[in-house]
Amino acid sequence: AIERTLSIIKPDAVAKNVIGQIVSRFETAGLKVVAARLTQLSRAEAEGFYAVHAARPFFKDLVDFMISGPVFVQVLEGEGAILKNRDLMGATDPKKAEKGTIRADFAESIDANAVHGSDAAETAAVEIAYFFPVLNVYSR
């Protein structure tokens, strides 16, 4: 089925100037960017986005990292977009990510891991709505 998923290129990858290289991987895999913006998250925005992780020990470091510089937030659309994006990203911990994945190639650590992607249809819907009002999403 055609799906949409939220992708975030995190501050480490934005700082490395590899937004285009990462987006190119999505496009090569048949995913389309249907909404996008470069934005500096506030602490409140980052905490709200990662609210499901609020009780985890890594929460404060995660939020600190996500507000350390601008991020590139996008909605990707395509056949099986949620799983396809997760396959392109590789494992959360870049040390465990398969060769050729975005995290294996661009990430340094489990915190500075280059990208975020929605993990399921329900979270994708919530995450897309968090960053993009419906009217700013252009299916094509």
Residues that bind ligand CMP (CB under 6 A): 53, 58, 62, 92, 110-111, 113, 116
Q: CA torsion, points 102, 106, 107, 112, in degrees to nearest 10?
A: -110
Cβ(79)–Cβ(30) below 8 Å: yes
Nearer to ligand CMP, 57 or 140 (CB): 57
Report, in Å, the least distance between residue 24 CB and ligand CMP: 21
Catalytic option among 101, 102, 116, 117 = 116
Q: Is residue 53 among the annotated active site residues?
A: no
Report, in Å, the least distance between residue 25 CB and ligand CMP: 17
Angle at Cα 55 formed by Cα 51 and Cα 60, nearest 5°?
75
Catalytic residues: 116
Binding residues for ATP: 10, 58, 86, 92, 103, 113
